[in-house]
Structure 1
Amino acid sequence: MIRWLLVSAALMSATPVLAQTCPWRAAWGSSQLKPDAANALPAGALTDTTLRQIVRLSIAGKRLRVRVSNAFGDTPLHITAATLARSASNSTARIADGSLRSLRFAGQAGAVIPSGADWLSDPVDLPVAAFGDMAVSLHVAQVPASQTAHPGSRATSWVVRGDATAAADLPAATPIERWYLLSGIEVESCAARDGVVVLGDSITDGRGSTTDGNDRWTDVLARRLGGRAAVINQGIGGNRVLLDGLGPSAMARLDRDVLALPGVGHLIVLEGVNDLGTLGRDRQPSAAEYRDLVARLTGAYAQIVARARARGLKVHGATILPFASNEYYHPGADAEAARQAINAWIRTPGHFDSVIDLDRVTRDPKRPDRLLPAYDTGDGLHPNPAGFRAMAEAVPLEALR
């Protein structure tokens, strides 16, 4: 008996203690699309070029990996070198001393990314704090004629000829306010809670925010969460729920932009104003056409909720902001009635797991079909930074726990 106990104790002491494995979590992301002529770089502009792009993570981590995208390329994308570093200043191309890390792809210095695909780098050790700015540098040897990009970055990136991925600064680089080929950064984290992804249009993308200021409403929400949970902005300017336009529709991009993200537990949906606006932009639709749009749009919301809940996400519906004074869409009484009907559906208990009533906090009490003047950029559609703060402060944080 004593011998058996001694043997058992020896076996137990010899059993290795396994290191704790922390889950991968999305820490930053951007929705990709095929840019239009106004936002695409000239043909050949990315060949033998280094792109240095500055992005801000909303949670901390010690190991990171980068997701490069060729989602809309028509041929393979050739990346020959890539690096990750802490940014010294998010309005310059400088990187912080001692922070440069080479990125590898399956152990190789580069990768050939197939058409339509995203590609994860190997993990690298690089401690970063919540709200740390990161510089991702990609040397592109060969790029598809059909580009993959995110035009509405509201952040400065840098382009220079040759392989400058290891350079501490890029004084000869050309600044651009767009992101290309970069769709996400993930961190290993046991400390962070499940993240929040926001599916939206230009209001979420940050039209009306300050370049390099990180004052979109999603940025303010992330700061309210204090780095305890990531907020991933998947807004596209001009995006619609039902139809493609500037980027794929919300329904078409749900899997790639939301359901494929690791470590996400909540989805906020703020889309629909462009569906309403484009219906009546060039003609006067009938009331019946607006009623049909309401039925199709709310049906699409229900589809989003069902698909996200099947993946274990809680889905939060944000009401559509007022836009009656917008001269681009020039909505009339029928469009406003449709907006009210859609918002009533969103507010109905059970349709979403919770409601974020952004209509209530951004409307003018004297003219509730219009944005409050203090929150209006001047176009009657897009909030300014003060409006974005009000939107973020209207999110009930207890619903995101």
Structure 2
Amino acid sequence: MRRIGTRLLGLALCVGLAWPAAAATSPPTWTGSWATALVSTDAANLPAPQGEVTIRQVVRLGAGGSRLRLRLANTFGTAPLRIDGARVALAGAPGGSTIVADTDRAVSFDGQAGVTIPPGATWLSDPVNLPVEGLARLAVSLRLPEVPRQASVHRSARTTAFIVAGDQLAAPELTDAATFTQWAQLAGVDVERPAGKGMAVVTLGDSITDGSGAGVDVYERWPDVLAARLQADPRTKGVSVLNVGIGGNKLLKDGSGQAALARLDRDVLAQPGVKAMIVLIGVNDIGGLSREGEVTPEKRTQVVTGLIAAYRQIVTRAHERGIRVVGATILPCGGTKVYRSDADADADRQAVNAWIRDSGVFDAVVDFDKVTRDPAHPERLLPAYDSGDQLHPSPAGYKAMGEAVPIKALD
């Protein structure tokens, strides 16, 4: 037995010593650098002219990379989505449609200039030889023969997009363009990084993660703050934050978009390079109960126990993929007129938060409730952190949240 054990130990040492050399020769890998969560909308909700259009959208990347690729989506389309051309470039000044001309690159799809995406599908572009730095602002221009009747969009981009008639893919600036603050048919941007040198953190949530109350083209959402912190540290420059919050979203029921539990696989688990996620969702399930008729003790119990069970599902499914899960406590919303915010609603919130803190189910916890509450009135947001509706944080509140996430909890 000793002889066999000695041989096994020697073999293990040999294998172990071989790992660094193997890692050094591993090919680069793709990691999500930017992503959003999409919902369905009618074309009438976009300021689109008739016929052929060019749409230019700006996204702020997370980690940089040597090459990039687009993830275009026809997630909620009921017909094939035809895209006749696409280009990418570094964006000019925030809020404008200008691009940095010498960074302009054509995007191809299996070697072709355009692509037709089946209903419900996502399509990866070919790699684009455009090196990008962390937090780079990328302009993505798409040419479509017409805006799809059933579009897949992110309604609250907090970033200005532009739409103009005709083929203006390569135009250095889109003059006379209509503007809107949505992302359309664009699900993500991935970057190529050395093997083992990149990872993504996905933030799953509702309007508080989506940034209601934050400014446009200024990147004030709490995931934006976290992303800037990661890029400021050389040790974490390979880490991206992918924000898949949806305003009005619930964990248990569809409403503003699919329920978070229903979209978990598409919006979180399928992201390339995802190694951790932060879950901040549940306030709309609790508060929104008052919009569904009489609030009874039985209904309240169902919501609290349902949220806890759904959190367990998220953690179990994420752990099966090797993804670390950080639970975030639900922020106070006492006084809001958006939906119920009475003592019973706060008791339900506190019950859920106590479980998040104490259950041990999550790999780590960030206590956003503690960070944002008013010590004198813990059922309410601190006035300096209130956007004005007693529900959504102000930019100062988002900054405090983004700074409160412990970086070590993500690894």
What's the offset of the Cα at 1:351?
1.1
Contact persistence 2:53–2:147 (CA under 8 A): no
1:276, distance to aligned residue in structure 2 (A): 0.7
Unaligned runs of 5+ in 2: 1-23, 232-236
Map 1:14-33 → 2, pairs under 5 A = 20-33=26-39
Letter of the aligned partner of 2:295 in structure 1?
Answer: P
CA gap of 1:305–1:179, structure 2 versus 1, over 3 A, is: same
Aligned amino acid, residue 210 of structure 2:
D
C-alpha distance in 2 between matches for 1:36 and 1:77:
14
Tell whether the 8 Å contact from 1:195 to 1:229 is kept in structure 2 after alignment: yes
CA shift at 1:62, angstroms? Answer: 1.4
Matched, 1:367 2:377: yes
Counterpart of 1:89 in 2: which secondary structure? coil
The amino acid that maps onto 1:26 is: G
1:211 aligns with 2:213: no
Structure 2 residue aligned with 1:323, among 317, 320, 333?
Answer: 333
- In structure 2, the partner of 1:8 is none
Say whether 1:79 aligns with 2:73. no
Question: Could you tell me which residue of structure 2 aligns to residue 14 of structure 1?
Answer: none
Secondary structure at the aligned position of 2:58 is classed as strand
> Amino acid of the residue matched to residue 41 of structure 1?
L
Give the match for residue 21 of structure 2: none
Q: Work out which of the residue numbers 90, 95, 106 in structure 1 matches 2:110.
A: 106
Looking at structure 2, the residues matched to 36 and 280 of structure 1 have their Cα atoms a distance apart, in angstroms, of: 28
Render the CA deviation track for 1:32-87: whole Å, top value 9, x for unaligned: 001379x8226x74741100000000111110000111100000000000001011
Return the alpha-carbon distance in structure 2 between the equivalents of residues 47 and 179 of structure 1. Answer: 19
1:239 and 2:244 equivalent? no
CA RMSD of aligned residues (A): 1.6
SS at match of 1:204: helix
Q: Cα 1:170–1:36, aligned 2, differ >3 Å: closer, same or farther?
A: closer
Partner-residue secondary structure (3-state), 2:131: strand
Amino acid corresponding to residue 408 of structure 2 in structure 1 = E
**How far apart are residue 282 of structure 1 and its match?**
5.9
C-alpha distance in structure 1 between counterparts of 2:302 and 2:248, whole Å:
21
Normalised by the length of structure 1, the TM-score is: 0.92
CA distance in 2, matches of 1:66, 1:324: 41
Counterpart Cα distance in 1 of 2:245 and 2:193? 25
Check the 8 A contact 2:288/2:340 in 1, yes or no: no
User: 2:45 and 2:251 mapped to 1: Cα distance?
Assistant: 24
Higher mean displacement: 280-289 or 335-344: 280-289
Contact 1:195 1:263 in 2 (8 A): yes
Q: Check the 8 A contact 2:68/2:130 in 1, yes or no.
A: yes
Q: CA deviation at 1:210?
A: 0.9
Listed one character per residue, the Cα deviations across residues 324-362 of structure 1 (whole Å, up to 9, x for unaligned) are 111111322211111011001111242100001000010
List aligned pairs for 1:232-311, cutoff 5 A.
232-281=242-291, 283-311=293-321
How many residue pairs get aligned? The number is 382
Off by >6 Å, runs of 4+ in structure 1: none
Hey, what's the Cα distance between the residues in 1 that align with 2:359 and 2:343? 26
1:19 CA displacement: 6.8
> 1:118–1:47: structure 2 CA closer, same or farther, 3 Å change rule?
farther
In structure 1, what is the Cα distance between the partners aligned to 2:32 and 2:25? Answer: 22
Counterpart of 1:179 in structure 2 is: 183
The aligned runs of 1:82-231 (5 Å cut-off) are 82-190=86-194, 192-226=197-231, 227-231=237-241
The residue type paired with residue 187 of structure 1 is V
Offset at residue 146 of structure 1 (A): 1.3
TM-superposed deviation, 1:20:
5.0
Q: Aligned letter for 1:214?
A: Y
Corresponding position of 2:45 = 40
> For the residues of structure 1 that align with 2:369 and 2:197, how far apart are their CA atoms?
30
Report SS of the residue matched to 1:280: helix
Percent identity between matched residues is: 49
The answer on whether the counterparts of 1:46 and 1:140 sit within 8 Å (CA) in structure 2 is no
Deviates more, 1:191-200 or 1:376-385: 191-200
| Contact 1:35–1:150 (CA under 8 A) maintained in structure 2 | no
Following the alignment from structure 1 to structure 2, what is the Cα–Cα distance between the partners of residues 26 and 134? 14
The letter for the 2-side match of 1:170 is: L
Secondary structure in structure 2 of the residue aligned to 1:315? strand
The structural deviation recorded for 1:394 is 1.1
Three-state SS of the structure 1 residue aligned to 2:66 is strand
Q: What is the CA distance between 1:22 and its match in structure 2?
A: 1.0
CA separation in 1, counterparts of 2:133 and 2:113? 26
Task: Deviation per CA, 1:137-173: give whole Å up to 9, x if none.
Answer: 0001144311110011000000000111111111121
Q: Is the 8 A contact 2:31 2:198 kept in 1?
A: no
CA contact (8 A) 2:53 2:146 kept: no
Partner of 2:5 in structure 1?
none
Which structure is higher in helix share? Answer: 2
**SS across alignment from 1:115:** coil
User: Gaps spanning 5+ residues in structure 1: where?
Assistant: 1-17
Answer whether contact 1:198 1:204 (CA < 8 A) is retained. Answer: yes
What's the CA shift for 1:291? 1.2
Alpha-carbon distance, 1:224 to partner: 1.1
Q: Which amino acid aligns with 2:319?
A: R
